[in-house]
Amino acid sequence: MVGASRGLGLGLVARLLERGWQVTATVRRPSAALNDLAAGEKTRSLRIVTDIDIDVDAAVAALRATLDGEPAFDLIFVVAGVATQAGMPAGQMPREVVGQVFQTNAISPIRFAESFHKRVAASGVIAFMTSKLGSVSLNQGGGWGSYRASKAALNTLARSFAGQHSKASWRVILMHPGWVRTDLGGGRATLDVDTSVRGMVALLERCLEQGDRGGCVFLDYQGQTVPW
């Protein structure tokens, strides 16, 4: 789980541990909430790796080296994302801010997947946390322009990534978690973290059990296909 300090990443780790998974969770800096999970009865099922900023290639390479030689992962889920100054029209935002949103939300997740895909089990899943806001066809009203565009870019890059690796049998899932009450989603969001992560984990477990292979799908937390 990449980006597990808080919000959906933290919730996903908690739910996976409840379901009996062995989880490796990465964070940029220590997270008290994640450490609390590790201190519970599931201690041995959770490994926390700190100092993993997905925008820093050297950090991702060091993580890769640390995990070399271990069994393949059933699931790699890149959850980390930002919505910096999302309310401001993209054309009015400082270039460096828009650029950074694209780096973190679109470029870095794909670079992470490029670095780790050989460590994914043949029938495994590489998941990216995207958003319905990244759907081009559903965008009627605009708003959150830079964030939307960064997630649309992530979707396109993930499809390209799956196409480049079409001989691989792992599956790529672009996941929309719903509108969820986190720091990013805000207090007016319609879902709590628990509802969203239960849905996402059930969907991922179904996909793994059924041995769905190859390709790239855009799904919400209830398993419904989201239009591109």
Ligand X SMILES: NC(=O)c1ccc[n+]([C@@H]2O[C@H](COP(=O)([O-])OP(=O)(O)OC[C@H]3O[C@@H](n4cnc5c(N)ncnc54)[C@H](OP(=O)(O)O)[C@@H]3O)[C@@H](O)[C@H]2O)c1
Residues near ligand X (CB under 6 A):
3, 5-9, 28-29, 53-55, 79-82, 104, 129, 131, 176-177, 179-180, 182-185, 189
Q: How many residues does the chain have?
A: 228
Q: Minimum distance from CB of 57 to ligand X (Å)?
A: 12
How far apart CA 53 and CA 111 sit, in angstroms, is: 12
Q: Are 146 and 93 in contact (CB under 8 A)?
A: yes
Nearer to ligand X, 79 or 203 (CB): 79
Q: Minimum distance from CB of 36 to ligand X (Å)?
A: 15
Angle between helices 7-18 and 32-39 (to 10 degrees): 10
Nearer to ligand X, 168 or 175 (CB): 175
* Dihedrals phi, psi of 33, to nearest 5 degrees: -65, -40
Nearer to ligand X, 49 or 189 (CB): 189
Q: Minimum distance from CB of 145 to ligand X (Å)?
A: 14
How far apart CA 131 and CA 97 sit, in angstroms, is: 19
How far apart CA 221 and CA 204 sit, in angstroms, is: 9
Q: Minimum distance from CB of 124 to ligand X (Å)?
A: 20
Nearer to ligand X, 191 or 208 (CB): 191
